[in-house]
């Protein structure tokens, strides 16, 4: 990214944080990974990408053969943006580096939501070669089809530094699908993604992220969303494939009155997978609302499922639901739901449950003629069925498909 656009102070702040470990998750030595050297040619027509690459991306929800289903596309391989385009008026989709050339004002948004010195990962993004997507819906523009973005890791043992900025201007509506994937099925790599969302007055954004990594990849996303008055942010996260280590704690700040945030996440961890994933919402303005729902399944892996809601203004309301299912003999789920309120007139609640499939439920279904395996599958499918209010039907169908495709692996 064009470093001249960011100020010198950012660099200093970042340098001061290069060794700062993250609050959660295993500490990763970034020096174990190289900066990607290879640059990739720009692809005017993304359907001409290699078949295998397209398949990897499709598994993460990225459709390249039918542009009619999307209102824009952004593709990045390692640190190179290889394609970006928008097909709907009023929507901008481009590489952040290019957006910074185009919009002078954009520097005001960089590191405004995510503190640059959060930890060594955010610092690393600032101090190294990085790019990412810039997606913006202009005032009052409503997209029907989603914008899709794919971050693809091609080079092995490399670190992918990504910085994304998403802006939904006043009264706009934006649906985004992001898919992350790797070329190699088993080589290590590190993905660091900083994402900053700005949801202006009355704007609505749905953000659906599907991860399709390999069992050796470490992932450290750093995401903060600022929601203004009457804005809506709806985030869905699906991780059904193996990964080595993933730690993230995306945060949404409801800074405007009646701002609403919903987080839904579906996590599965097989043997060798370590997840420390949560969602955090700060209800900073009157009548702000949130609901955080997570479903975690372990089939031998370790999951820390966090959730945090803080009520800092009158008449806010938040609910946290965290349910974990342990399939098989091993695996850990540690649910940590937290609520904090320091004034009267707030309404925060949570429910958490971790356990194995209830025998009683299996037997109930078996008494109707289902075999033990069929009964178990039906219960797991039910467990993963999260009804997402406010998600357009098409996205709902795609999300369902992504979960269903992975259920087979799970069973």
Partner 1 sequence: MLKIKDLSVAVEGKQIIHDINMTIQTGETHVLFGPNGAGKSTLLMAIMGFPKYKVTRGSIHFKGKDITGLDVDERARLGIGMSFQRPPVVRGVTTRDMVSACLKGHGDGDAITKLAEKADLQEFLERDINYGFSGGEIKRSELMQLMAQRPELTLLDEPESGVDLVNIALIGELMNDLLEKDCPIADRRCMGLIITHTGHILDYVNARTGYVMCDGTIGCVGDPHEMLATIREKGYNECIKCYLGRMQLHEQK
Interface of this chain with partner 1, residues 376 to 405, rule: CB under 8 A? 378-379, 381-385
Among 8, 31, 52, 368, binds partner 1 (CB under 8 A): 368
User: Do the beta carbons of residue 266 and residue 292 sit within 8 Å?
Assistant: no
Residue 73 CA to its chain's centroid (Å): 17
Q: Which is nearer to partner 1, 167 or 292 (CB)?
A: 292
Which range of residues in 23-31, 209-217, 333-341, 360-368 is near partner 1 by CB under 8 A? 360-368
Among 339, 361, 388, 407, binds partner 1 (CB under 8 A): 361
Q: Which is nearer to partner 1, 48 or 385 (CB)?
A: 385
Among 363, 397, 401, 404, binds partner 1 (CB under 8 A): 363
Contacts 24+ apart (CB under 8 A), 393-398: 394/69, 394/145, 394/146, 395/146, 395/175, 395/177, 395/206, 395/208, 398/61, 398/177, 398/208
Among 50, 52, 367, 389, binds partner 1 (CB under 8 A): 367
How many whole angstroms separate alpha carbon 155 and alpha carbon 39?
10
Residue 94, CB half-sphere, CA atoms under 13 Å: how many?
13
Task: Output the smallest distance, CB 148 to partner 1, in A.
Answer: 28
The DSSP string of 195-229 is EEEEE-TT-EEEEEEEEE--TTEEEEEEEEEEE-T
String marking each residue 314-353 x if it binds partner 1 according to CB under 8 A: ----------------------------------------
Task: Output the smallest distance, CB 241 to partner 1, in A.
Answer: 21
The phi, psi pair for 24, rounded to 5°, reads -130, 165
How many whole angstroms separate alpha carbon 399 and alpha carbon 48?
25
How many whole angstroms separate alpha carbon 400 and alpha carbon 229?
31
Which range of residues in 148-156, 169-177, 363-371, 388-396 is near partner 1 by CB under 8 A? 363-371
Among 55, 371, 394, 401, binds partner 1 (CB under 8 A): 371
How many whole angstroms separate alpha carbon 55 and alpha carbon 106?
34
User: Do the beta carbons of residue 305 and residue 331 sit within 8 Å?
Assistant: no
Q: Which is nearer to partner 1, 135 or 379 (CB)?
A: 379
Q: Which residue has the tokens 């290889």?
A: 82
- N-to-C CA span, the chain: 44
Interface of this chain with partner 1, residues 26 to 85, rule: CB under 8 A? none
Q: Which is nearer to partner 1, 177 or 403 (CB)?
A: 403
Task: Output the smallest distance, CB 357 to partner 1, in A.
Answer: 10
Among 48, 55, 340, 372, binds partner 1 (CB under 8 A): 372
Count of residues near partner 1 by CB under 8 A: 22
Q: Which is nearer to partner 1, 368 or 408 (CB)?
A: 368
Among 5, 20, 2, residue whose Cα is nearest residue 123: 20
Does position 355 bind partner 1 by CB under 8 A? no
Among 18, 58, 156, 365, binds partner 1 (CB under 8 A): 365
How many whole angstroms separate alpha carbon 324 and alpha carbon 239?
14
String marking each residue 168-197 x if it binds partner 1 according to CB under 8 A: ------------------------------
Q: Which is nearer to partner 1, 41 or 382 (CB)?
A: 382
Among 62, 36, 53, residue whose Cα is nearest residue 190: 36
Task: Output the smallest distance, CB 326 to partner 1, in A.
Answer: 16
Q: Is the dihedral of CA 100, 104, 110, 113 positive or negative?
A: negative
**Interhelix angle 372-384/393-410, nearest 10 degrees:** 140
String marking each residue 118-147 x if it binds partner 1 according to CB under 8 A: ------------------------------
Given the rule CB under 8 A, which residues bind partner 1? 358, 360-361, 363-372, 374-375, 378-379, 381-385
């Amino acid at each position: 990214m064009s470093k001249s656009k960011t100020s010198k102070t950012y660099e200093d702040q970042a340098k001061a944080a290069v060794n700062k470990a993250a609050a959660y998750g295993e500490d990763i030595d970034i020096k174990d990974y190289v900066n990607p050297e290879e640059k990739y040619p720009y692809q005017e027509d993304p359907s001409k990408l290699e078949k295998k690459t397209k398949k990897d991306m499709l598994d993460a929800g990225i459709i390249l053969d039918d542009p009619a289903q999307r209102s824009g596309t952004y593709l990045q391989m390692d640190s190179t943006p290889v394609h970006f385009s928008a097909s709907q008026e009023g929507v901008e989709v481009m590489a952040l580096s290019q957006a910074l050339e185009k919009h002078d004002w954009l520097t005001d948004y960089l590191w405004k939501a995510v503190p640059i010195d959060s930890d060594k990962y955010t610092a690393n993004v600032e101090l190294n070669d990085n790019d990412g997507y810039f997606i913006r819906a202009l005032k009052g523009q409503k997209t029907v089809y989603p914008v899709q973005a794919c971050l693809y890791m091609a080079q092995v043992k490399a670190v992918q530094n990504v910085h994304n900025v998403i802006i939904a201007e006043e009264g706009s509506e934006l649906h985004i699908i992001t898919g992350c994937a790797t070329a190699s099925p088993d080589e290590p790599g590190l993905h660091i993604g900083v994402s900053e969302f700005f949801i202006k007055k009355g704007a609505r954004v749905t953000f659906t992220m599907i991860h399709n990594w390999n069992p050796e990849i470490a992932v450290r996303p750093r995401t903060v969303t600022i929601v203004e008055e009457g804005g809506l942010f709806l985030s869905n996260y699906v991780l059904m494939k193996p990964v080595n280590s993933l730690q993230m704690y995306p945060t949404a700040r409801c800074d405007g009155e009646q701002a609403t945030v919903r987080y839904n996440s579906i996590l599965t961890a097989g043997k060798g997978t370590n997840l420390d994933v949560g969602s955090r919402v700060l209800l900073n303005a009157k009548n702000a609302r949130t609901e955080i729902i997570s479903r975690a399944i372990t089939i031998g892996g370790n999951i820390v499922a966090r959730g945090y809601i803080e009520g800092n203004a009158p008449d806010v309301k938040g609910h946290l639901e965290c349910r974990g299912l342990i399939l098989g003999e091993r695996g850990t789920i540690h649910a940590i739901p937290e609520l904090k309120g320091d004034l009267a007139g707030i309404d925060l609640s949570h429910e958490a449950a971790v356990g194995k499939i209830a025998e009683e439920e299996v037997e109930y279904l078996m008494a109707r003629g289902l075999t033990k395996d069929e009964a178990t599958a039906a219960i797991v499918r039910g467990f993963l069925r999260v009804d997402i209010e406010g998600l357009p039907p098409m996205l709902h169908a795609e999300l369902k498909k992504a979960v269903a495709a992975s259920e087979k692996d799970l069973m």
